[in-house]
Structure 1
Amino acid sequence: MSKENLKVCLVGSSGGHLTHLYMLKPFWENKDRFWVTFDKQDAKSILKDERMYPCYYPTNRNIKNLIRNIGVAWKVLRKEKPDVIISSGAAVAVPFFYLGKLFGKKLIYIEVFDRIDKPTMTGKMVYPIVDKFIVQWEEQKEVYKKAINLGSIF
C-alpha cells in the first residue's frame, strides 16, 4: 500500500495531545483518516469537519474508563480497519495500541514535547510494542533507546 493510500487512526486526549496530532496536518490531510478523542468542546471545534469517535475520560489511572475504552477501540478498529495508528498520548492510546498490535496495525507514538528527560506513563506502556517511537528532544533518547528524534512538532 502506498503512503497516499494509508488509512490513518489519530488517537489522543483533547487539549495539547490533540494539538500535537493536528499539527501533523501536512502528513494526514490527504489521507483517509479518523480521530478518536474526548467529546469536549476543543476537540469538537478543531475536528468539526473530521470523522471523530468519542472515547471515555478521564483516562489516567481510571480503570473503569480504560475498560470502556478497550470496548471503543475494539469496535472502532474493527469497523475502520486503519493501516496505521498514531498517537501523542495520553492514556486513551493504550487500548488502541495494544488492540492495534493484535490486529497487525503499524503503531507510531510521539512522546510529548514537555517531557525532556523523564518518560510519560503512556510512553512507557506503549514503547515495547510500537513500530516507531518518536521523540522531540535528543535528551529523550536517553530514556527511550530505540526512539527517533525528529525534532519539535511546534
Structure 2
Amino acid sequence: MKVLLVCSAGGHFKAIYQLRSFWETCDRRWVTFQTPVTEASLEGEKVDWAWSPTNRNFLNLLRNLILAWTLLRRDRPDVVISTGAGVAVPFLAIANLLGSQTVFVESITRVTDLSLSAKLALPFVSVLYVHWAELQLRYPQAELINPQKVTPERLATVEF
C-alpha cells in the first residue's frame, strides 16, 4: 500500500509518528515542515518539505496547494493520512479529487469540537478518527480511534 503521511511539525508530527505500527510496513512518503526534530526523525525516509507557516499565510497555502497537486499526481498514493494542521487541507482535498482514500486523525486534545483544519478537510475525508466519545456524538460520521486497530488490514475493510 502506498501511503502519504501529511502533518505539521510538533504535536501533529508526534501524533502521526505514534501510528508507526500502521505505516512502518507501507511504501510511504512524508510531507511535513522542516525542523530539527522532523529532519532527525525522518532520516532515511522519503520526505517533501511543506511551506510554513500555514496560519493566515495565503502565499504558503498556494505553495502547498501546488506541492500537493505535484506530489499526488506523481505518486498516486492509495491513502493520504493526516493529523493536521493547515498543511493537511490542500493535500486531503486534492487526494480526494484524484481518487485516493483520505484519513484525518483529529488531535487527542479536541474533546468537544473539531479543529479548524479538520472542519475544512471534512468534505474531503474518507475516514475521520477522533479520540473522544463526546466528539463522536457531535460528528457521528467519525470513528473512535484505537491505535491498535489502525492497521493496513483494518483500513482495507473500512467502507469509504
RMSD: 1.3
Determine the structure 1 residue equivalent to 2:76: 81
AA of the residue aligned to 1:10 = L
Note if 1:100 corresponds to 2:98. no
Please tell me the residue identity of whatever aligns with 1:14.
Answer: A
CA 1:78/1:152 → structure 2, altered by over 3 Å: closer, same or farther?
closer
1:151 shift after superposition: 4.2
Q: Distance in 2 between matches of 1:71 and 1:131?
A: 22
Task: Give the C-alpha shift of residue 143 in structure 1.
Answer: 3.0
Q: Is contact 2:9–2:32 with CA below 8 Å preserved after alignment? A: yes
Q: TM-score under structure 2 normalisation? A: 0.88
- Preserved CA contact (<8 Å) 1:13 1:90: yes
1:26 deviates by: 0.7
Other structure's SS at 1:53 match: strand
Mapped to 1, the partners of 2:119 and 2:34 lie a distance apart of 26
Distance in 1 separating the partners of 2:100 and 2:63:
21
- Please state whether the residue corresponding to 2:136 is helix, strand or coil: helix
Q: Classify the secondary structure of the residue corresponding to 2:124.
A: coil
Structure 1 residue 61 displacement after superposition: 2.3
Cα pair 1:109 1:130 within 8 Å, conserved = yes
After TM superposition, which residue ranges in structure 1, 4 or more long, deviate above 3 angstroms? none
Please state which structure has a larger fraction of its residues in helix. Answer: 2
After the TM superposition, which residues 113-132 of structure 1 pair with which residues of structure 2 at under 5 Å, given as runs? Answer: 113-132=108-127
CA displacement 1:33-82 (0-9 Å, x = unmatched): 00000011111011112110001000122211101100110111122111
Runs of 5+ unmatched residues, structure 1? 1-5
Partner of 2:31: 36
1:3 aligns to what? Answer: none
Q: Which position in structure 1 is the counterpart of 2:52?
A: 57
Which SS does the other structure have where 2:123 is aligned? coil
The structural deviation recorded for 1:152 is 6.7
1:68 maps to 2:63: yes
1:17 aligned to which of 12, 37, 44: 12
Contact map agreement 1:11 1:36 (CA 8 A) in 2: yes
TM-score (norm 1): 0.92
Matched, 1:147 2:142: yes
Counterpart amino acid of 1:17? H
Q: Which runs of 5+ in 2 are unaligned?
A: 149-160
Structure 1: which amino acid aligns with 2:120?
M
SS class of match (1:128): helix
